[in-house]
Amino acid sequence: MLHTNEKLPRATRPRRGKHRKKTAFRVIPLLLFVLTLTFLSIPAAVQPSSAGRVDSGMRQQYLALVSSQRQPLKKLEALSTAPKSGKPVRFEMDYKPLPTPTPTPASTPTPAPPAPSGGGSSTFTAGAPVKVFHGPRGRGRVAITFDDGYHSSAITKILDVLGAKNVHTTFFPTGQALGQNHALWQRAVAEGHEIGNHTMTHPRLDKLDAAGIRSELQGMENQLQKALGGSAPALRFMRPPYGCGGFKESETILSVSGQMNYSGVIMWSVDPNDCKTKTAPARLQHILERVKDGDIILLHTIDMDAEILSSLIDQLRAKGLEPGGIDWLFS
């Protein structure tokens, strides 16, 4: 018989270590599963308390931290209401706070030059000229304008057609052209047509300084006074030759025009494309294919434009567009 204080042979001893390992392998996964279920149930169990111990904002910070920052959490104790005792459980989180974003200052857009958005005499103000390329849309009106003022025979035909069609227009003659036939310009004004300033010698205004621009505008005004016998009306509009200084770099032109009490720098939205339309039918077709309500049509006091004028007026009216001058377009 074996005494209790005698040691068993190694081969007959109980294998306690192996038994413990098997038990641990069974228990550890079960504990992990229970802890996982408990942790997942925490957010749903979080309830706000009247004492302010439960803060849903903290939960949101935690979730945001985990999803975006993925910073390691050193301590986490869930805040939930125990199912039986009803006692709240506090939780703490150690994490790096999200950096406060530095607001990017909003860029201030550069204001566009003023342009008319509708009709009415308030569009233009003496001494504060605006640059326009077209008039108000949706009113069934277009403007026909004539530049330069040379070729007395063409001007005579133009005035005859305008009178027969009961249309008034705006002429932009140069000072040099005004000196050629005073009687013709007296007729144009007497028949209700408007005169605008197209400078004295037709230079590129974008190549001149403020003093040069002023000299050109003033020279034309002086010639108009002579042509009309000293009774010329105050001019409201000017048009830069070639459009130079009107499409860009127009600040000096606007400034000088304002100092001289002008109301508008008048550009255009439809031109006959002088370089390509070498015949009257091609010229007329080019304009009619492009013109729309509110447009400003650019023509010149030449024989070809005098030739197409009657058909142009008729076909504009057939399109539901009534032609007139600049003042009428914006009135």
Residues with a known catalytic role: 147, 300
What 3-state class would DSSP assign to 248? coil
β-pair type (194-195, 141-148): unpaired
What DSSP assignment string belongs to 30-98? HHHHHHHHHHHHHHHH----TTS---HHHHHHHHHIIIII-PPPS-B----B-TTT--B----B--PPP
Contact 328, 121 (CB under 8 A): no
Distance CA 143, CA 298 (A): 9
Beta strands in the chain (DSSP E): 130-132, 141-148, 170-173, 194-195, 237-238, 264-266, 296-300, 322-324
Residue type, 182: H
Backbone angles phi, psi at 129, to 5 degrees: -65, 145
Kindly list the strands in the beta sheet with 130-132, ordered across the sheet, starting from the edge strand earlier in the chain: 130-132, 264-266, 237-238
Element (H, E) at 226: helix 210-227
Distance CA 143, CA 135 (A): 8
